């Protein structure tokens, strides 16, 4: 796990200048790799590559980067882990290699040199973003892993190419970068900027499973070596028709192998444990792997409506993990807020970013690698919208629109006392239940696209705040599939890489912690897409098959509860300890930098202070943009001012 950056600029054949720029770009992502720094320059080709190292495997100098292949043709900078590198090292085509070390970096590099890039990528099992410079063809290849676990940004300007693990690396190059209004509009909708866009005009995120190649003339070629769309289509076309026990056994064995592979490390390793289905499954399989004692980590909040720590503790005690738990006060959690713009580097407004950073910080105090349960909801239908799609959407589609509107009106008219009674029976917080019911009332009369858009939107109507079309309008895939499958695919294409995995990557790497998600082993993903819906949702229970695997190790009573998410009491904070800061930010004379309209933000804030929770996510999205804009104020709309150098 590391940070990478670099540039190819054939019009800048000055070795010292290339080294200076590459060094500045690398230092901008130094937090991702505090264990070492490397720079490689080819002045004649205008190439400068930078690497920041977080040593996990091959801890000695044999694993240092940038690394040059034995035949001197290829140079690599690489961020991530390839878990099956020991197997790849034994490939017959590599029999003659005189290995200099035992890192996965060298295995990738020599495999490319002896077998080619395409054959190598087809065999890699891991999470990675890498840059390969071909010294013979003078071509740069940029590659991102299949699911988009690791990030990679790129800007092509004429014959020049800039790339980096985070936007800060590109800003540190000294180039100007403007805010892209269309990307900002999509951010307001979703709380994140969807790939391939970034908040900066002319800078894009490489797509999951994509190879982007640029030659010395600036010609760009793209290809996808793996596609979630194609994987999903193949799975839906050839569903797995087996008995329950056989499906359970196959999933168990796949997951156990994925966990074992991802436990390979030469540094201390642990697991994030929330006590939910996904993280509990990973923790259980780590304990079953036979690779020694397991350390687990969780955080909690004093507010019982948002605290999962007791559930995590119960699972840890049952499994026998060495469990570390931290109860975070509101004061400690809120102390994180001023630094979020630096941690996330691009506007990002999933409020679970706060506990994710805190649990990463806690974990890094004890280990260098942590396994996580990310991906379980998207693969195995764990979100409330998936339950809705499986249980209610077919019936609602047949119901008259007048009936749906009447039901929506009934929900909106529920008094507060009824909400508290329902929340008590559902063992949830009244505020959370009220938000879910309000969202349900909004979507009852919508078609599928509008329904999904409403369910995933942070701001109901971004055009109220910004006069720009969205860069990536939210639409479900066009396939003639059940709504559940279309939602799962849309989540896997957007929400998973651009929200969930972005959140975990930035929060963990900010403290130099490597987070690994075994559920996103591509073999598990391909298997999950072959599962008929009865293995996903059955008798009103989500993630049915994954639960069956977990039940081999953990009693259902320890994990059976309504889905909570990694939430914080944001609505209360915005009325309490964050109220003054939020008001000063949203009501300031320079609010929005001349791009966002101040009126809607003011109205939403005043409604929230008056007691409405309908605007909580919308306000947090606006606040996170303003926090980012003020921190990175070199990024001006129009792009004429100097870029910020970190």
In this structure, are residues 51 and 3 in contact, taking their beta carbons and an 8 Å threshold?
A: yes
Torsions phi, psi for 317 (to 5 deg): -65, -40
DSSP at 614: T
Which residues on neighbouring strands pair with residue 214, listed in sequence order?
140, 220
Q: What DSSP string runs through 292-337? A: S--EEEEEE-SSGGG--HHHHHHHHHHHT-EEEEEEPPHHHHHTTG
Which runs of E-coded beta strand occur in 469-624?
A: 514-516
Q: Which two tokens stand for residue 640?
A: 């004429």
d(CA 340, CA 354): 8
Q: What DSSP string runs through 186-234? A: HHHHHSSPPTTB-SBTT-EEPPTTEEEEEETT--EEEEESS-HHHHHHH
In this structure, are residues 212 and 141 in contact, taking their beta carbons and an 8 Å threshold?
A: yes
d(CA 46, CA 25): 15
In this structure, are residues 337 and 351 in contact, taking their beta carbons and an 8 Å threshold?
A: no
Closest CA to 501 of 348, 329, 300: 348
| Count of alpha carbons within 13 angstroms of residue 55, beta-carbon side | 15
Closest CA to 508 of 22, 5, 49, 56: 56
d(CA 59, CA 79): 15
Tell how strand 153-157 and strand 139-144 pair up.
unpaired
Q: Which two tokens stand for residue 242?
A: 């087996």
Whether 287 sits among the annotated catalytic residues: the reply is no
Q: Which two tokens stand for residue 605?
A: 């804030």
Closest CA to 621 of 573, 588, 582: 582
Tell me which of 1, 2, 131, 559 is the catalytic residue.
Answer: 2
Q: Which residues form the catalytic set?
A: 2
């Amino acid at each position: 796990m590391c940070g990478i950056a670099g540039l190819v600029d054939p019009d800048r054949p000055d070795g010292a200048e290339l080294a200076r720029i590459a060094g500045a770009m690398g230092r901008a992502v130094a937090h991702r790799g505090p264990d070492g720094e490397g720079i490689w320059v080819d002045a004649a080709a205008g190439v400068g590559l930078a690497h920041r190292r977080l040593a996990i495997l091959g801890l000695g100098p044999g694993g240092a980067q940038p690394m040059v292949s034995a035949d001197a043709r290829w140079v690599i900078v690489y961020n991530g882990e390839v878990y099956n590198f020991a197997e790849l090292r034994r490939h017959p085509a590599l029999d003659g290699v005189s290995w200099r070390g035992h890192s996965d970096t060298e295995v990738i590099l020599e495999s490319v040199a002896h077998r080619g890039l395409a054959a190598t990528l087809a065999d890699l099992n891991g999470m990675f973003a890498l840059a390969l410079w071909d010294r013979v063809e003078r071509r740069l290849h940029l590659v991102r892993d299949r699911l988009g676990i690791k990030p990679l940004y790129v800007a092509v300007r004429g014959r020049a190419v800039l790339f980096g693990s985070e936007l800060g690396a590109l800003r540190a190059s000294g180039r100007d970068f403007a805010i892209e209004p269309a990307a900002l509009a999509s951010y307001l909708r979703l709380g994140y900027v969807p790939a391939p866009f970034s908040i900066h005009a002319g800078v894009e995120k490489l797509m999951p499973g994509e190879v982007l190649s640029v030659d010395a003339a600036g010609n760009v070629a793209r290809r996808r070596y793996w596609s979630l769309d194609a994987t999903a289509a193949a799975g839906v076309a050839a569903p797995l028709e087996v008995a329950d026990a056989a499906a359970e056994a196959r999933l168990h064995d796949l997951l156990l192998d994925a966990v074992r592979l991802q436990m390979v490390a030469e540094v201390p390793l642990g697991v994030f444990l929330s006590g939910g289905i996904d993280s509990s499954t990973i923790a259980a399989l780590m304990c079953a792997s036979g690779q020694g004692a397991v350390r687990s980590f969780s955080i909690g909040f004093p507010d019982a409506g948002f605290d999962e720590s007791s559930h995590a503790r119960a699972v840890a005690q049952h499994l026998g993990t060495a469990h570390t738990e931290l109860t975070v006060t509101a004061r400690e959690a809120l102390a994180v807020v001023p630094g979020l713009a630096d941690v996330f580097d691009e506007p990002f407004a999933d409020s679970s970013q706060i506990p994710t950073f805190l649990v990463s910080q806690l974990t890094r105090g004890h280990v260098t690698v942590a396994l996580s349960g990310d991906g379980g909801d998207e693969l195995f239908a764990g979100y409330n919208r998936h339950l809705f799609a499986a249980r209610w959407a077919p019936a609602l589609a047949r119901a008259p629109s007048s009936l749906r509107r009447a039901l929506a009106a009934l929900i909106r008219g529920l008094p507060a006392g009824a909400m508290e009674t329902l929340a008590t029976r559902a063992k949830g917080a009244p505020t959370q239940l009220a938000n879910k019911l309000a969202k349900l009332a909004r979507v009852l009369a919508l078609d599928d696209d509008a329904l999904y858009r409403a369910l995933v939107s942070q701001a109901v109507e971004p055009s109220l705040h910004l006069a720009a079309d969205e860069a990536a309008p939210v639409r479900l895939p066009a396939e003639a599939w059940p709504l559940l499958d279309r939602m799962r695919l849309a989540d896997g294409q957007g929400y998973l890489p651009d929200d969930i995995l972005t959140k975990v990557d930035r929060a963990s790497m900010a403290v130099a912690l490597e987070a690994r998600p075994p559920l996103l082993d591509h073999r598990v993903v391909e298997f999950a897409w072959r599962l008929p819906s009865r293995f996903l949702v059955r008798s009103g229970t989500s993630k049915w098959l994954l639960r069956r695997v977990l039940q081999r190790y953990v009693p259902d009573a320890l994990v059976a509860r309504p889905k909570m998410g990694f939430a914080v009491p944001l609505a209360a904070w915005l009325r309490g300890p964050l109220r003054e800061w939020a008001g000063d930010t949203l009501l300031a004379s320079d609010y929005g930098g001349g791009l966002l309209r101040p009126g809607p933000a003011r109205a939403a804030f005043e409604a929230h202070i008056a007691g409405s929770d309908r605007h909580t996510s919308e306000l947090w999205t606006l606040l996170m943009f303003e926090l980012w804009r003020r921190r990175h104020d070199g990024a001006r709309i129009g792009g004429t001012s100097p870029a910020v150098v970190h």
